[in-house]
Structure 1
């Protein structure tokens, strides 16, 4: 599976698009204040890595600019110019992003009730598991809900039969292969970003992870076990071939905080300012509201199973279509929603997020 050419969020603005199905993490105000106060750049360079598509891609950028503009007012400084790089894989729906960019500056000025510094937007269509920008050109890097996606499916996991990710039935070599791929990818990511950030530049990362040191813990594997059940049920009914399941694995890894910390310390270019874990209860209607879950087109906003199924679909549909074909997609997610509904009515299902704030040494 060529992840670089296949993995992207669903484009457009429909009910299955990423723009309407993302959980967003707000940037911490102290990080951008630290950047501005230590550097006072006349042109602030910001990179949003794994930006995906739609208006949601601008939420964090908007917050950053608001913080800087308020700082400039307090300090009686002239507003800087803003150079914003939107990065994702080449198949990402960049058109949908830049349809929103034309009115971004005007809307933000109206919200701030004052003129802001000029904003310049650029697309950077490539994998972040490699160099993207010239040496020491960025002041702030942000990435949310992207780094749990690996650069490729780990090698040597052919015996992970009946599963599409790590599960409690996966052989030990599968767990080892996934962890080693994460180490390789995350280490490369850190090395590349260290070369691109200026000294004292900041990087704020949020990725799906786990609290437990056990890789097959329910808190990170359960949603994929339920997806595998939907697919395996279709195998039993002859709608999918068994070998198709056995050769499909998600290029994804949910690290523990200690695994994230270890790679940062080994790479050595960053100081850790913050490392914390948070939990999102997928059963709770209020949680989706509070986290600005943009799903106004959902048929039933308080239908937890629907919301989760749509969220997972937004990120995985291109992978499933590439492997199984488009004909089965509606049935897969219909079954998945039914399975989720059954389990969510009886137990709590959560997403665990690992958040880390880093300063370039």
Structure 2
């Protein structure tokens, strides 16, 4: 299975679309937006370009994308006014995701986005205005996307934990997975599975950094937010546990005769949660960036009698993983799979909170 030909967030605005099921990502974005905005302001103030190039890598679809752009434009509008009391720069905003992404849903929302921003600008800036050019740049960010030195600022939210491929080292010479019974790294996975995922992440992240180093101007910055883990152990009561519960949901369908054991054993995800040390080592090894800021934070899932976090997480996961799962198993298992998954999460939350770990990293181009 070629990930870049199959993987995408669910498009449109239906019940299981990413647009309707990305509240957890929005919560994380809101927790860290002050870091993103401050970083962009510093970049603009130090470079003061008349045309500001910004790239969103892994933009997906839905309101989160345009909300982030609006916040950035408003921040730079204000910064430019304080610096020189003149019109802000023109904005070149490049939205990147895989070819299969629902870019059409994003563009349908652009007229309202422009109208709202224009009204806010005129209320706040007494007529100062500038052009905003928003374009799609489809393709994998594990490789070059843009011309040399055309960007001032890059940000990527909830994307870099998705690898370019399922690691080839997960399979033996006969093509059989060594990670049977798990769709990612869980407590039942062999050590070789963890090594395979780690090796693939190192290759991908290094290529990501090298590619962006060519596209960013000197002194340009990147803000990267991705899921991770607290220490060297690949198993924790966070992202790893959520994948373990999804694996158990598949196993239940096997026991019920809805899918074959062999089909389950053949399925592996392309997700990897790195440690802080892994990220720092690859950044240092690649050598094009210095770390301005590195922060670890938790998105805590707590048991509440009036809220089914299991349902919320299950719908979010379905919006992200449905394309891959349906490609391998077919669509008929989806409802039962994610109903089981949501129930298992709620049962686990009764025992103890689940605390997925995320990182936000600010990198400056040397």
TM-score of Structure 1 vs Structure 2, range by shorter chain: over 0.9
- Which of 213, 225, 229 lines up with 1:206 in the alignment? 225
Corresponding residue of 1:31:
39
Corresponding residue of 2:143:
130
Alignment partner of 2:137: what SS? strand
The answer to whether the 8 Å contact 1:27/1:204 transfers is: no
Correspondence 1:91 to 2:104: no
Corresponding residue of 2:324:
319
The answer to whether the 8 Å contact 2:303/2:346 transfers is: no
Correspondence 1:351 to 2:359: no
Cα distance in 2, alignment partners of residues 36 and 170 from structure 1? 46
Cα distance in 2, alignment partners of residues 219 and 56 from structure 1? 24
Cα distance in 2, alignment partners of residues 83 and 301 from structure 1? 44
Corresponding residue of 2:51:
43
Shift of 1:351: 1.7
| Residue-pair matches, total | 347
Alignment partner of 1:19: what SS? coil
Corresponding residue of 2:174:
none
The answer to whether the 8 Å contact 2:237/2:356 transfers is: no
Correspondence 1:117 to 2:130: yes
Corresponding residue of 2:154:
141
Moved more, 329-338 or 213-222: 213-222
Shift of 1:284: 6.4
Shift of 1:210: 0.8
- Which of 62, 84, 87 lines up with 1:54 in the alignment? 62
Shift of 1:314: 1.3
Shift of 1:87: 0.3
Corresponding residue of 1:254:
273
Deviation string 1:142-171 (CA, Å, 9 cap, x unpaired) is 100000000000012211111100011111
Corresponding residue of 2:315:
310
Moved more, 218-227 or 83-92: 218-227
Corresponding residue of 1:291:
none
Moved more, 112-121 or 261-270: 112-121
Shift of 1:27: 5.1
Corresponding residue of 2:173:
none
- Which of 104, 128, 148 lines up with 2:113 in the alignment? 104
Cα distance in 2, alignment partners of residues 282 and 43 from structure 1? 42
Shift of 1:220: 2.5
Corresponding residue of 2:73:
65
Correspondence 1:335 to 2:340: yes
Moved more, 265-274 or 16-25: 16-25
| 1:151-162 equivalences in 2 (<5 Å) | 151-157=164-170, 158-162=177-181
Corresponding residue of 1:297:
none
Deviation string 1:29-81 (CA, Å, 9 cap, x unpaired) is 32111111111111111100000012211122111111100012212122111
- Structure 1 stretches of at least 4 aligned residues deviating more than 6 Å after TM superposition: none
Shift of 1:110: 2.2
Alignment partner of 2:165: what SS? coil
Cα distance in 1, alignment partners of residues 282 and 236 from structure 2? 21
The answer to whether the 8 Å contact 1:138/1:198 transfers is: yes
Shift of 1:301: 8.4
Cα distance in 1, alignment partners of residues 195 and 312 from structure 2? 32
| 1:265-304 equivalences in 2 (<5 Å) | 265-283=284-302, 302-304=307-309
Corresponding residue of 2:9:
9
The answer to whether the 8 Å contact 1:257/1:276 transfers is: no
Corresponding residue of 1:189:
208
